[in-house]
């Protein structure tokens, strides 16, 4: 029975799907540090995490039984994907399942900050009736600048236009503008015209420190900043200085450079206590609907990989879409992508009298993935001969 370890309070659907598929599932509520994770992965074939648990090359090197990692979130920068691939460990994420939840909290933040609802709320709870329109605005007619025009940015673009906002976006890659949104040629152009700037960039190392004091200084006086992407993208000290000086009229921050590992742990930030600043505990994608969808999506992906070899939407292995036809014995062979491997595989199979009924090959960078269906059982001699090939990374026999 394959064993799965699920960390960080994943939705019950994640466990239910894996248990139905025959996994022995162990769940833990919090994240684990490196040494804890090494110990916990003994005998584990499948690891499920969110954003707090870091799967380093050192962890992977000490987890020989690990076959797949499910990141039950959008980001995968907490996983050493290259090291995982080199050891034949597939990684999957949920690139679409919580985009709507992030978009909705962005819309909520934009309206709340533009209307200064946080200030009114605090004063009312303190017993002060301060009815005033000063500093409160409609979002209609204002300009939203979206940095990162991917799955979240494009959805946000459409909804913001429906609210009457003008949308300008900036992305390093070429992207199709939706609706009446227009592309800014440079980041500076976007910052100069936007009343609200929202960041939706990915977790690649090059984005660390991407948005600091100079970028904030280039924003319009009185504008608003949102960061719902990655904690290391924005300099919180620069945000604080801009709020205190009045250059920014508000900010909403959902992600932080250092975040507590477990629910209930203390949280500290230089942004605490500032006026018209919304702080949320990395819950941009944390709605019940999104977490259920993520639990279903990622668990189905890792289940299918272990049972059929399908790597569709894997973030680190060549992508091959597979089902499991009855009566077929399948060899899933991950190897270094060099010339001649497929010929050597087929020569080995022919030498041992294995008849090939179907075969697929895909490559991705340094890796190749050849999946072969045989019409008869595959002997241990065949498996050992393939594993002995110098280009072999990982071979799995799926029957």
Known catalytic residue: 351?
A: no
Strand partners, 305: none
Q: Show Cβ contacts of residue 146 under 8 Å, excluding neighbours closer than 6 positions.
A: 153, 156, 157, 167, 168, 169, 170, 181, 198, 200
CA separation for the pair 148, 170 (Å, rounded): 6
Catalytically annotated residue among 282, 303, 330, 335 = 282
CA separation for the pair 129, 126 (Å, rounded): 9
Q: Are 45 and 65 in contact (CB under 8 A)?
A: yes
CA separation for the pair 181, 167 (Å, rounded): 5
CA separation for the pair 328, 288 (Å, rounded): 39
| CA-based nearest residue to 59, from 30, 29, 89 | 89
CA separation for the pair 279, 258 (Å, rounded): 14
Catalytically annotated residue among 161, 259, 292, 357 = 259
Known catalytic residue: 54?
A: no
Known catalytic residue: 282?
A: yes
**Beta strand pairing call for 223-227 and 248-253:** parallel
Catalytically annotated residue among 230, 240, 330, 335 = 230
Catalytically active residues are 230, 259, 282
């Amino acid at each position: 029975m394959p064993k799965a370890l699920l960390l960080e309070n994943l939705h019950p659907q994640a466990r239910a799907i894996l248990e139905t598929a025959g996994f022995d599932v162990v769940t833990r509520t919090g994240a684990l540090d490196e040494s804890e994770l090494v110990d916990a992965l003994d005998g584990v074939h499948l690891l499920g995490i969110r954003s707090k648990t870091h799967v380093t090359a050192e962890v992977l090197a000490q987890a020989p039984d690990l076959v797949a990692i499910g990141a039950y979130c959008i980001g995968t920068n907490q996983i050493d994907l290259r090291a995982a691939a080199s050891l034949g460990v597939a990684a999957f994420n949920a690139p679409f399942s919580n985009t709507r939840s992030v978009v909705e909290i962005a819309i909520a933040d934009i309206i709340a900050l533009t209307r200064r609802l946080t200030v009114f709320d605090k004063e009312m709870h303190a017993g002060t009736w301060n009815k005033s329109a000063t500093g409160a605005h409609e979002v209609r007619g204002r300009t939203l600048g979206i940095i990162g025009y991917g799955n979240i940015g494009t959805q946000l673009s459409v909804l913001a236009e429906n609210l009457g906002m003008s949308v300008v976006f900036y992305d390093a890659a070429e992207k199709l503008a939706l609706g009446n949104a227009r592309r800014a040629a440079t980041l500076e152009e976007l910052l100069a015209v936007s009343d609200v700037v929202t960041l939706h960039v990915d977790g690649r190392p090059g984005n660390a420190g991407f948005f600091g004091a100079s970028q904030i200084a280039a924003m319009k006086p009185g504008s608003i900043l949102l960061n719902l992407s990655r904690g290391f993208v924005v300099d919180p000290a620069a945000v604080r200085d801009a709020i205190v000086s009045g250059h920014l009229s508000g900010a909403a921050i959902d992600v932080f450079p250092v975040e507590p590992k477990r629910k209930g742990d203390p949280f500290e930030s230089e942004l605490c206590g500032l006026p018209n600043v919304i702080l949320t505990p990395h819950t941009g994608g944390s709605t019940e609907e999104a977490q259920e969808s993520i639990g279903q999506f990622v668990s189905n992906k890792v289940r299918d990989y272990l049972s059929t070899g399908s790597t569709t939407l894997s973030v680190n292995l060549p992508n091959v879409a597979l089902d499991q036809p009855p009566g077929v014995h399948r060899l899933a062979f991950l190897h270094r992508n060099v010339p001649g491997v497929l010929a050597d595989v087929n020569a080995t199979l022919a030498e041992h009298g294995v008849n090939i009924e179907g075969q697929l090959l895909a490559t991705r960078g340094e890796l190749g993935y050849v999946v072969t269906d045989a019409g008869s059982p595959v002997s241990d001699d065949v498996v050992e001969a393939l594993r002995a090939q110098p280009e072999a990374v990982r071979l799995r026999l799926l029957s």
